[in-house]
Amino acid sequence: MISLVNIVKNYDGKQNGGRAVDGLNLEIAKGEFVALLGPSGCGKTTTLMMLAGLLKPTSGEIYFKDKLVNHVEPKDRNIGMVFQSYALYPHLTVRDNIAFPLRERKMAKKDAYERALQTSKILQIDHLLDRKPSQLSGGQQQRVAMARALSKDPEILLLDEPMSNLDARLKLDVRDEIRKIQRKLGVTTIIVTHDQEEALAISDRVAILNGGKIQQYAPPSELFNHPYNLFVASFLGNPPMNLIDGIVEQREDRQWVKTKLFELEIPQPRRLEAQHIGKTVKLGIRPHDLFISEQPGEASIRLEIDLIEHLGSGQLVKMTDRAGQSDMMIRLLTDNEKRLKERETVAIGIRPDKIHLFDMTDEGRNL
Ligand code: ATP
């Protein structure tokens, strides 16, 4: 449905060679829900604006269904768009707001109102059609903005941080709502967000951007379980992944990673190539892949608990290695049943099949 081919966008005067988007390639299938996710300034909004036709790429091609659209005007692209600020017209009723894009296309008022009614029913706001935006809650305004974007039956829906003005609870409801409507209508949708939980919950695939480049483009579980590089691994996950410096060693047929805290055998059948032996790596372990061990011989590390945070669904335990040479902080996630005390020393086990090893010479590639 959508192909971005080698897209570059330079803003005049921007630092770092001026590239806000730097050679981006992306394919989006019909009916797919894709999130563009990354830290502030990574090029998400710039990419969305180029899809909308509100910005022109410096170079590269944008195709909608094999048709080059680089020079197609926004109004001729058959897209609906919802912005962070909703931008509803305050002097118009909900009905007229939803009908606005249709009236702009010279649709007769009666037909436009009929379509507005149908769309408002899908979004369950048909009882609000006579109100003005100022008489609506934030969540209702959000739905009106969605209805307006969908009223002209677009092939592509672009969402720019559409939930950032909603409170935490409402966000969850609206998120489900957006996903349901998107499924029902089958409209190809791209959402820009800096909220990773939102992106992972709502999308079929997520493109992680950094510095105007795609770091990984994959379904949520793949990103989480098989991060392509150190950036993706450390960006995704809350609480974040533990990252520990280590050296790869080989003794006879077995490979080990040696850190200041412990030694861990790299489980078979994973084998690193010879060029990595003796090299520094970052060892990545997610907090829920560490556990507090009660069985002798099972544990790899003994650490002192500094802080316990109760997260509702579990406990986040922050620990340091007081006795050893390292003051590195390690995070562990455990259930609520475990009785733990700050200042207590505990034995920690590692699930070795869940570890990640990142190359420190090749842009942090996951080995
Ligand atoms: P955020 O999450 O903060 O909105 P973003 O990922 O959407 O960030 P963009 O808005 O696409 O990022 O910006 C990408 C880069 O381009 C940033 O470094 C930004 O400073 C720069 N930039 C954006 N708009 C302009 C502009 N009009 N002129 C010059 N530089 C710009």
Considering the chain, what percentage of its residues have pLDDT values greater than 90? 65
Which tens digit of pLDDT belongs to each residue from 22-63? 999 999 999 999 999 999 999 999 999 999 999 999 999 999
Per-residue model confidence (pLDDT) at position 325: 61
Q: Locate the domains of the chain by residue range.
A: 2-235, 242-359
**Residues 287-332 pLDDT 10s:** 999 999 887 666 678 889 999 999 988 999 999 876 666 678 899 9
Ligand 1 binding pocket includes 281 (Cβ within 6 Å): no
User: Average pLDDT over the chain, rounded to whole?
Assistant: 90
Q: What is the band of 134 on the pLDDT scale with cuts at 50, 70, 90?
A: very high
Closest CA to 293 of 331, 338, 234, 262: 338
Left if phi > 0, otherwise alpha if psi is -120 to 50, otherwise beta: which for 215?
alpha
Domains 2-235 and 242-359 share a fold: no
Residue 291, SS3? strand
**Residue 153 to residue 148: CA distance in whole angstroms:** 10
| Residues 41, 210: Cα–Cα separation, whole Å | 8
194-204 pLDDT tens trace: 899 999 999 99
User: Which CATH code of 3.30.450.40, 3.40.50.300, 3.30.420.40, 3.40.50.2000 fits the domain covering 2-235?
Assistant: 3.40.50.300
Q: Which atom from ligand 1 is nearest to the alpha carbon of 212?
A: 14
**Best substitution site from 7, 36, 45 to test ligand 1's pocket, by max atoms within 8 Å of Cβ?**
45
pLDDT of residue 123: 82
Q: For residue range 213-241, what is the model confidence (pLDDT) as tens digits? A: 999 999 999 999 999 999 999 999 989 99
Distance 47 CA to ligand 1 centre (A): 10
Written as one string, the DSSP assignment of 313-332 is: SSEEEEEE-SSSS---EEEE
Instruction: Tell me if the domain spanning 242-359 has CATH number 2.40.50.140.
Output: yes
